[in-house]
Amino acid sequence: MLIHILHRLAIALCVAVTVSIVSFLLLHLSGDLATAIAGSEASAAQVEAIRVQLGLDRPMLSQYLDWLGRAVQLDFGRSFYFQADVMQLIAERLPITMKLGSIALLLATVVAIPLGVLAAIYRDTWLDRIALALAVVGQAMPSFWFGLGLILIFSVTLHWLPVAGNERWENFVLPAIALAYYAMPAMMRLTRAGMLEVLGSDYIRTARAKGLAKNKVIFKHALRNAVIPVVALAAVELGFMLGGSVVIESVYSMQGLGQLAWDAISRNDYPVVQAVVLIIAMFYIGLTFLADVINALLDPRIRIR
């Protein structure tokens, strides 16, 4: 088990370093940073002054190593745009995204697992078809479009919920639904597939043959095994929601990490972009690692491989 964990840890570290290199390089390839920071109405002299002031005239490797050295101490420098400590900006925004992500994940799980179970039990019935149709629509529909649709119905037409902001609990309802609907299909389909596989297995047939109650067979014997991969997926989905909330936070004007990332990208505020990319990647890597460990604990065959 220890070897398995160490092996996974090494892979996670490699991914983290790769992410840091790629995010660093991509930003430099996206145009001249000094020009971007100076803005559309700046003169060439202003651009040059900014280049020197921010050390953008130094060799790329030196800039990268310098940044990485500070990043491991959680010092990401100052935002070019906000002129504030990057870590402080992230600390202010992260709780909003975590809250949104957690609510959305909970919502997705609460809907997806029962729906997946029901779809498997009532396979090829109207219930199954509705569940699959919901999953297909959820996967195919752009999240911003769905988000705007919710605004149109529940805010503009019915006046039930606010359109934007993150000050009150009701601000989280629509964005959480929009985000959850995007995450729900994968979990629902995995639950359904898992349940179908388990329900057709010998031990379930044996349980049924022993005369156990239907509910006991489904929820105690079948579901326990079927949801193992769903638990792992949920962990990864949370990571995905942290990164994928950019669009939803923008639509609902929530000042979370996703919105910060979007603002920073559009303004080429690259200390912020690099920090956000790295932190989201770390969460993602951490959650994937956690899922690996959970899987190994639940299924001994994985750690033997």
Partner 1 sequence: MLPQGMACCALLPAFVPAPALAGKANDTLVYASDSEAPNISQYHNNVREGVILAHLIWDTLVWRDPRTGDYKPQLASAWKWESPTALVMDLRQGVQFQNGDPFTAEDVAFTFNYAVSSESRVITRQNVDWIKSVDKLGDYKVRINLKQPFPAALEYLAGPLPIYPGAYFRKVGLEGFAKAPIGTGPYKVVSVTPGRGVSMVRNGNYFKDSPQGQPKIGNIKFVVIPDPETRSAQLMTGAIDWIWRVPADQAESLKSTPGITVQSGETMRVGFLVIDAAGNSSPHSPFKDVRVRQAVNHAINRQGIADNLVRGGSKPVYTACFRTQFGCDDKVVVHYDYNPAKAKELLRAAGYANGFDTDLYAYREREFAEAIVGDLHKVGIRARLHYMKHDAMQVEYRGGKAPMTFYAWGSYSINDTSAFTGVYFKGSSDDIVKDPQLRQWLETADTSTDPAVRKTNYAKALALISRQAYLAPMFSYSTYYAHSSALRFQGYPDELPRFHEASWK
Residue numbers 80-99 binding partner 1 by CB under 8 A: 81-84, 89, 92-93
Please state, in angstroms and rounded to a whole number, the distance separating the CA atoms of residues 201 and 217. 12
DSSP 209-239: HTT--HHHIIIIIIHHHHTHHHHHHHHHHHH
Q: Is 185 exposed, middle or buried (0-12, 13-18, 19+ CB in 10 A)?
A: buried
Q: Residue 181 CB, nearest distance to partner 1 (Å)?
A: 15
AA letter at 107 = L
CB closer to partner 1, 191 vs 268: 268
Q: Is 260 in the site for partner 1 (CB under 8 A)?
A: yes
Decide whether 93 or 221 has the Cβ nearer to partner 1: 93
Span of 105-113, 222-230, 231-239, 254-262 interacting with partner 1 by CB under 8 A? 254-262
Distance of CA 42 to the CA centre of its chain: 37
Which of 20, 23, 24, 33 contacts partner 1 by CB under 8 A? 33
Nearer to partner 1, 235 or 257 (CB): 257
Residue 30 lies near partner 1 (rule: CB under 8 A): yes
The one-letter amino acid at 19:
V
Alpha-carbon distances of 231 from 98, 145, 146, 287, 298, rounded to whole Å: 18, 28, 26, 11, 11
Question: Distance between CA 159 and CA 151 in Å, rounded?
Answer: 9
Which range in 5-13, 26-34, 225-233, 275-283 contacts partner 1 by CB under 8 A?
Answer: 26-34
Q: Are 246 and 262 in contact, with CB atoms under 8 Å apart?
A: yes
Kindly tell me which residue out of 36, 186, 272, 285 binds partner 1, with binding defined by CB under 8 A.
36
Closest separation in Å from C-beta 83 to partner 1: 6
Whole-angstrom distance, CA of residue 115 vs CA of residue 231: 15
Please give the structure tokens belonging to residue 303.
């750690």
Q: How far is the CB of 47 from partner 1 (least distance, A)?
A: 8
Taking CB under 8 A as the rule, does residue 107 contact partner 1?
A: no
Give the one residue of 1, 110, 152, 213 binding partner 1; rule: CB under 8 A. Answer: 152
Q: Which is nearer to partner 1, 47 or 302 (CB)?
A: 47
CA–CA dist 15, 180 (Å, integer): 27
Residue number with CB closer to partner 1 (181 or 252):
252
Q: Is 55 in the site for partner 1 (CB under 8 A)?
A: no
User: Which residues touch 14 (CB under 8 Å, ≥6 apart)?
Assistant: none
Distance, in Å, from the CA atom of 272 to the CA atom of 266, rounded to the nearest integer, reads 11
Q: In the complex with partner 1, which residue's Cβ is closer, 6 or 60?
A: 60
Closest distance to partner 1 from the beta carbon of 33 (Å) = 8
**Cβ distance to partner 1 smaller for residue 173 or 195:** 173
C-alpha–C-alpha distance, residues 91 and 256, integer Å: 10
Give the bridge partners for 78, in sequence order.
Answer: 85
Q: Give the residue, chosen from 122, 129, 170, 216, that forms a contact with partner 1 under the rule CB under 8 A.
A: 170
Q: Does residue 164 interact with partner 1 by CB under 8 A?
A: yes
Identity of the residue, 46 or 63, whose beta carbon is nearer to partner 1 in the bound complex: 46
Contact footprint for partner 1 (CB under 8 A): 30-33, 35-36, 39-46, 81-84, 89, 92-93, 148, 151-152, 155-156, 158-165, 168, 170, 250-253, 255, 259-260, 262-263, 268
